[in-house]
Structure 1
Amino acid sequence: MATIHFILQGKGGVGKSMVAVLLYQALEHFEKEVLAYDTDPVNTTLASFREFNVTALNIMKDGNIDARMFDALLEYLANAPEGSHVIVDNGASSFLALGRYMEESEVLPILTEAGHAVFFHSIVAGGQAIGDTLKGLARLAVNFPESPLVVWLNPYFGEIALDGQEFEEFQIYKKYSPQFHALIRLPEGNKTLIGKDLEELLAKRQSFAAGINGSSTSIAVKARLRRYWNQILACVEQADLL
């Protein structure tokens, strides 16, 4: 049995690819065999990390899913190595089209019948993006009621709160919490310090190991990256994804 992680969110620029990068590295840290497919037709962030085992696949054609390309992806997923973890990073621009295709083609039953575990990961961001990201999460919960959801809460853009209520008090949580396998809260930090460190790490397409051990990384930056990375590892371990 393999474990397949689809990372899906219809709102762009909310940290989706960052989540894919974090999940990939965390799974490798825990000595899992990790494969990944970057299907984002606009920003192939994950595939641009040379340290990672990622295949870029353009599954979109003229605004719709290219059935032949997705059929090939489905074949790869169905035959994933025993015990491996496979990450599929999907772009915001293809969120709706991919959702429709997965429903019509019964992708989840095919994968589960092949013996694989399937998780949907989605990001809820604070600030102005909160409404759109909640809509994206709700669409997944409604359209794929049998697939466990992992919700990544990203406070980088602002507090994840509505009318003084936290996420666990939101109506969406009360309604769909049985489908939520885990909530992963990305650590908060000073945007001008760890926020800037993470931006530079991502821009350089470097892993945490490369950043922490790099000879050109200052002592202060190494310390902040190490602390953040340890927090991420603890979150992933507690999420019971291993």
Structure 2
Amino acid sequence: MKTVHFVLQGKGGVGKTFISSIVAQYLGHASGAPVHCFDTDPVNKSFSQIQGLSVQTINILTENKKIDGSQFDQLMNQLIELDGQGVIDNGASSFVPLMDYLQENNVPAFFKDSGINMVMHVPMQGGQALKDTTYGLSVVLDELKCPVVVWLNNHHGQIDKTVDAFKDRAIYKKYKSQILGVVEIADRSQDTFGKDIRSMTEQNLTFDEVAQSEKFFIMNKQRILIFKRSIYEQLDAINLGEKNDVPAEKDKQA
């Protein structure tokens, strides 16, 4: 059964494109199946700039620069017809229109009936964005009955000291049966790891491209590799792309 992965959050600047690129690269590494990437962000088409991922842009803006939700139909057609897995990076400005579209058309159930699993990836960020990103996560969990991967992006403020500490939060306890897993992007040294990751993202490079690039020194590549392994190990632990069904009602009550 193939899987489509949506990366979305109502708050901008919380790492959606970065997470989309990680998910796409991981899926290609873990499954060996084709990975089809789509950028539906009507304002900042950062995902489509990563040439190594061959991202297709889905234009959801009208001539009057207004969002037309019906344009998501084109995306759904491709997700149904294409073999392999899909990764969709959705912008903050189209968060509400996409959520409305997924609900109104009952897309999670439609995908399931079509033999397709659906996973939502929702970033959370510390600091001033914590309240807004917590709200965005609660909207996704409450309105879409499908598995969710929570990404704790600690680069702009620590959310919790450990993943276990996050699991003590009320939102995790309330939706525990729906949360597929929690992935932590650790707050590492900004002078080393942070600088290397920014360099990679600013140049729109994949992990493999960094490993082959002459613009990165050996220790730069080593730090990127350490970061990559830390994320991939967490994704391995939640069997991303395999455990994609919301637990049955009797399991939720256990």
TM-score by length of 2: 0.88
**Residue of structure 1 equivalent to 2:11:** 11
Deviations 1:188-229, CA, capped at 9 Å, x for gaps: 310121111111101111111111221221122111111111
Match of 1:182 in 2: 181
Describe how 1:83-122 pairs up with structure 2 within 5 A.
84-122=84-122
* Residue identity in the other structure for 1:140: V
- Corresponding residue for residue 126 of structure 1: 126
Q: 1:43-192, aligned counterparts within 5 Å?
A: 43-61=44-62, 62-67=65-70, 69-81=71-83, 84-144=84-144, 146-161=145-160, 166-192=165-191
- What SS does the corresponding residue of 1:121 show, helix, strand or coil? strand
RMSD (CA atoms) = 1.6
Q: Secondary structure at the match of 1:150?
A: strand
Q: 1:102-160: CA deviations, max 9, x gaps?
A: 1111222221111001001100111111110000000011111x201110111111110
Give the secondary structure class of the aligned counterpart of 1:153: strand
TM-aligned CA distance change 1:9 to 1:132, over 3 Å: same
Q: Deviations over 1:32-77 (max 9, x none)?
A: 311011001111111111111211012243443341x211111111
Contact persistence 1:39–1:91 (CA under 8 A):
yes
CA distance in 2, matches of 1:95, 1:50: 24
Partner of 1:64, secondary structure, is coil
Amino acid at match of 1:38: D
Structure 1 segments unaligned to the other structure (5+ residues): none
Distance of 1:216 and 1:205 partners within structure 2: 13
**Amino acid of the structure 2 residue aligned with 1:149:** V
SS in 1 for 2:51: coil
CA 1:63–1:186: 2 relative to 1, 3 Å: same
Q: Which amino acid aligns with 2:37?
A: A
1:218, 1:175 → 2: CA distance?
46
Tell me which residue corresponds to 1:237: 236
* Superposition misfits of 4+ residues, deviation over 4 angstroms: none
Equivalenced residues, count: 236
Aligned mates of 2:153, 2:182 — CA distance in 1:
11
Q: Distance in 2 between matches of 1:2 and 1:156?
A: 32
Q: Give the 3-state SS of the residue equivalent to 2:120 in structure 1.
A: strand
Q: Matches of 1:125 and 1:232 in 2, distance apart?
A: 16
Deviation at 1:80, TM superposition (A): 2.6
Q: Is the 8 A contact 1:187 1:232 kept in 2?
A: no
Residues in 2 aligned to 1:108 and 1:85: alpha-carbon distance in whole angstroms: 15
SS in 1 for 2:130: helix
- Aligned equivalents of 2:185 and 2:239: distance in 1? 16
For structure 2, the 5+ residue unaligned runs are 242-254
- Give the residue type in structure 2 aligned to 1:183: V
Q: TM-score, normalised by structure 1?
A: 0.93
How far off its partner does 1:16 sit? Answer: 0.8
